Amino acid sequence: MKNTFPQWPTINTLIVLLSNKPFALSVLVLLLVVTFPIAAEPKKTLLNRNNIPLIDPIVKQSKNHNPDSFIQGWIRDGETFYESSGIYGRSFVQRYNDKNNNQKNITINLPSRYFAEGLTLFNNMIYLLTWKEETLFILDKNTLKTISTLAYSGEGWGLTHDGSQLIMSNGSANLFFRDASNFSMTRRITVPLPLQLNELEYVNGVIWANDWNKDDIYAIDSTNGCLLARIDLSSLRKQTVTPNSSNILNGIAYDSTTDGLWVTGKYWPTRYLIEYPNNRIEQLKASPHC
């Protein structure tokens, strides 16, 4: 009967096979892959918020803030603040300033079917998002009267601009760049963490954003979505309100006269001006987290 068991190669056969260079190379590669499987597939490190450099807030001053404002959008133009507040049936936009000059404070209420969201000042007009109503309001910045509206799809959360385009959040890790003339989307960037980006503020190539229902604001490189820094504002929330589910941190407004960031929250009776971390941000641009 013929022997059907496989025969091991003899030493002489192996010497002949290994003297063949392509065959010997193949054996070497196979041995390396079997011996060092981790080297063949490098392990990826997942990014988390603790990887992002933390900057401590330095408070320069504090002032009263409307404790009835469920603040959504916030900007400062010179000495004047523009603020939007949400909730169906109670949504409004306000203009106010810290100087006792002749500019009157103005409040306009939105029709009850609209939930006001983020706002920004662009081309001398106020652009105001709504949450689920897919309507962008364009308001006169002096009277806050509606000039026109534009339609868009999906939810609106935060709004800012980079001098040429509007930038919008929708509660995801994405930011959308939009043409102000028709609100069409031109570009999207995504941050490398599962954040719910909300209120926004663009300052010199950096987009500052609240992470919804958290105490952090993040500095995002506007060219690519890489994260540069995080500021933990939990100490301010704890000293101004009794924590509950409603009075979360929200609201970032750049103050060009003092080079600072105003921050506040929903129903907070206080707003704070914190130092703008110019030097630290410039350093951190060299090592972004992408």
**Closer to Ca ion by Cβ: residue 70 or 74:** 74
Tokens of 136: 């962008």
Tell me which stretch binds Ca ion (CB under 5 A): 61-69, 139-147, 197-205, 278-286: 197-205
Distance, CA of 130 to CA of 150 (rounded, Å): 11
> Do strands 227-232 and 54-55 pair parallel, antiparallel, or not at all (unpaired)?
parallel
Tell me which stretch binds Ca ion (CB under 5 A): 101-109, 186-194, 250-258, 278-286: 250-258
Distance, CA of 200 to CA of 167 (rounded, Å): 8
**Closer to Ca ion by Cβ: residue 252 or 284:** 252
Nearest approach in angstroms of CB 160 to Ca ion is 6
Question: Should residue 201 be labelled a site residue for Ca ion when binding is judged by CB under 5 A?
Answer: yes
**Closer to Ca ion by Cβ: residue 133 or 201:** 201
Question: Should residue 117 be labelled a site residue for Ca ion when binding is judged by CB under 5 A?
Answer: no
Question: Should residue 133 be labelled a site residue for Ca ion when binding is judged by CB under 5 A?
Answer: no
Task: Tell me the β-bridge partners of 125.
Answer: 122, 140
Please give the C-alpha separations between residue 193 and each of 46, 173, 213, 219, in angstroms, as whole numbers. Answer: 9, 7, 15, 13
139: Cβ–Cβ under 8 A, 6 or more apart, which residues?
93, 108, 125, 126, 127, 128, 145, 146, 147
Nearest approach in angstroms of CB 76 to Ca ion is 9
Give the residue among 253, 247, 276 at the shortest CA–CA distance from 84. Answer: 253
Please report, as residue ranges, which positions from 27 to 86 form the binding site for Ca ion (by CB under 5 A). 74
In the chain, the amino acid numbered 255 is: D
Query: Residue of minimal CB distance from Ca ion?
Result: 201
**Closer to Ca ion by Cβ: residue 81 or 267:** 81
Distance, CA of 253 to CA of 159 (rounded, Å): 12
**Closer to Ca ion by Cβ: residue 136 or 252:** 252
Nearest approach in angstroms of CB 143 to Ca ion is 21
Nearest approach in angstroms of CB 30 to Ca ion is 59
**Closer to Ca ion by Cβ: residue 207 or 226:** 207
Phi, psi of 115 (to 5 degrees): -110, 105
Tell me which stretch binds Ca ion (CB under 5 A): 127-135, 149-157, 199-207, 210-218: 199-207
In the complex, which residues of this chain contact Ca ion (CB under 5 A)? Answer: 74, 201, 252
